[in-house]
Each structure stands twice: as C-alpha cells, then as structure tokens.
C-alpha cells in the first residue's frame, strides 16, 4: 500500500490553515469517522484531524458503505465544536463539500461540483463524498464529526465512480484553509459558496425524504439551515434530510 500521508503531513496541513490540534494517521482503519467520534467523546479539541490510507468499514449516509482503493484516496475526518444551534448543524457538511469542491477544482483543473446533500462530482461521476455526524447534549451541539473521502484512483466495482489526479497533502491543505474560513465566518458565506459550486440547483430533481415521501421539480435554492427547496410547480417543498436524483440538465 502506498502511504499517502503521515502524522507530519497532517500537522503541516493544519499549520497551513493556522490551526493547532491533535492528529492521528492510520495505515488501515475501520472508519475515520468512528475513530474521530471516539476521540470527540473523550474530549479531544476542535479541529482534531484523523486520516487513513484505507478504510475497511467506511460509511456513507443512511448506513451505506464507502469503498476505496487502498492507498489511493484521501480519507479524513475532522472534529468540530461549533457554538451553533443544532438546527443549522447541517451547514458543516455543506461547508466541507464547498471547500473540497473549490480545492479540488483548483488543483485538478476540472470542474468539481456538489450534489446535494453530500456528493462531490466531476460531470456525472462521483469522485467523493461527505458524511457529517452530530452529537447534541442538553439542546446544544457537543461536537460534529465531518468525514471526507475523495478518490485519487477509481475504486474497483463501484459503478459511476471517478477519481482526481491530485496530490493528497496539497488537496488536504487547500481544503482545510477553505473549510476553516467558512466555519469561522457567517452562515451566509457557507450558503453562498455552496451555491457557487452546486451541481444541483437549477436542475430537475426527484427528492425522496427519510419518511419516504417524494417530490419532483426544480431544485430552486437552499434555506438558512441548508435544506433543499424544490419547486414542484404547485409550491415549494422543503427537503431537510433525504436523497435526490438528478433528472435533467441544469436550468440555471
């Protein structure tokens, strides 16, 4: 297995973003989010950075698996402790997606877009994904763990997957610089930067909520919490949690 990163590389990336926090590098782990969540429960400070060369039990949203080619993906998780209301915790994942799309576009020379709520795409190929997990205590956010996976080589037997030909440390560094600027800034900046790299807004979509309801129409905008607003032609449907399927070309 090729070693993409190590503890020193993680510390360099944090320092470039003006951050000081613990790091952990594993050649192989079950899930960087699982490791980061355990550290968060133990009280590790904000911006603790966990990364690995390969995940054996990588996770996506709704319990789906995330598969990577060993030594050929950027796999990392960050612990955050934002003083935000729980209702806007979803903005962390949108910020991570926008930051990675910006960084990956700059370094790869390709147009990397965000598919709501958590995919990173190049054209119609999925090159990465975001997984945010929130812990709430006494009505406040105790911590957020946000995991990022970006393929640097196409994984085997994953239909629709793509990859980016970029350096892992350069990508992580550029991501952290951008991500920190959004987390430290106003929520409106997160929404604006996500809109700028969106591959979903303006497209016809079919949205399926966690409850199983579906709504078809044009993805019109986000609300202040990061929920998707779908214009069905008969009204606006708010989709806070769920999945979408792109049905047609961008209308914007």
CATH homologous superfamily of 7-196: Bira Bifunctional Protein; Domain 2 (3.30.930.10)
Query: Chain-centre distance of CA 225, in angstroms?
Result: 16
pLDDT at 4: 77
pLDDT at 196: 98
pLDDT at 58: 56
CA–CA gap between residue 201 and residue 230 (Å, rounded):
9
Between the CA of residue 225 and those of 35, 117, 228, what are the distances in Å? Answer: 27, 12, 9
Residue with tokens 């782990």: 29
103: three-class secondary structure by DSSP: helix
CA–CA gap between residue 60 and residue 67 (Å, rounded):
9
CATH fold of 203-250 reads: SH3 type barrels. (2.30.30)
8 Å CB contact between 88 and 136? no
| pLDDT per position as a tens digit, 172-189 | 999 999 999 999 999 999
Q: How many residues does the chain have?
A: 252
In the sheet that holds 236-239, the strands lie side by side as 236-239, 228-231, 214-222, 203-209, 242-250
Task: Give the E-state strand segments of the chain in sequence order.
Answer: 23-26, 49-52, 58-59, 65-66, 73-80, 112-115, 119-122, 125-137, 140-151, 203-209, 214-222, 228-231, 236-239, 242-250
Residue ranges of the chain that CATH labels 2.30.30.100: 203-250
| pLDDT per position as a tens digit, 95-123 | 999 999 999 999 999 999 999 999 999 99
CA–CA gap between residue 114 and residue 129 (Å, rounded):
9
Residue ranges of the chain that CATH labels 3.30.930.10: 7-196
Q: Which of 171, 83, 74 is CA-nearest to residue 130?
A: 74
User: pTM above the 0.95 mark?
Assistant: no
Residue 246, sorted as left (phi over 0), alpha (psi -120 to 50) or beta, turns out to be beta
CA–CA gap between residue 4 and residue 2 (Å, rounded):
6
- Would strands 73-80 and 112-115 be described as parallel, antiparallel, or unpaired? unpaired
Q: Which of 70, 46, 49, 42 is CA-nearest to residue 58?
A: 70
Query: What is the mean predicted confidence (pLDDT) over 2-17?
Result: 90
CA–CA gap between residue 45 and residue 24 (Å, rounded):
13
Paired residues of 207 in beta bridges: 215, 244
pLDDT at 67: 62
pLDDT at 213: 82
pLDDT at 160: 86
């Amino acid at each position: 297995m090729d070693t993409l990163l190590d503890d020193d590389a993680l510390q360099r990336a944090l320092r470039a973003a003006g951050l000081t926090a613990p790091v952990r590098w594993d050649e192989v782990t079950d899930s960087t989010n699982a490791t980061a969540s355990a550290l968060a429960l133990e009280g590790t400070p904000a911006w603790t950075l966990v990364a690995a060369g390969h995940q054996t039990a990588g996770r996506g949203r709704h319990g789906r698996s995330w598969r990577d080619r060993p030594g050929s993906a950027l796999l990392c998780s960050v612990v955050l402790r934002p003083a935000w209301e729980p209702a806007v915790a979803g903005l962390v994942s949108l910020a991570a997606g926008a930051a990675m799309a910006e960084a990956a576009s700059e370094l790869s020379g390709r147009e990397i877009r965000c598919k709501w709520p958590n995919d990173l795409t190049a054209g119609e190929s999925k090159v990465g994904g975001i997984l945010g997990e929130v812990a709430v205590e006494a009505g406040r956010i105790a911590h957020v763990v946000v995991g990022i996976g970006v393929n640097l080589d196409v994984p085997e037997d994953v239909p629709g997957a793509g990859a980016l030909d970029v350096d892992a440390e350069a990508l992580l560094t550029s991501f952290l610089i951008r991500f920190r600027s959004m987390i430290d800034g106003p929520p409106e900046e997160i929404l604006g930067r996500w809109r700028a790299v969106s591959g979903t807004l303006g497209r016809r979509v079919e949205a399926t909520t966690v409850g199983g309801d579906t709504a078809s129409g044009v993805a019109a905008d986000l609300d202040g919490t990061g929920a998707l607003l779908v214009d069905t032609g008969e009204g606006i449907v708010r989709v806070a949690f769920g999945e979408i399927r792109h049905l047609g070309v961008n209308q914007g």
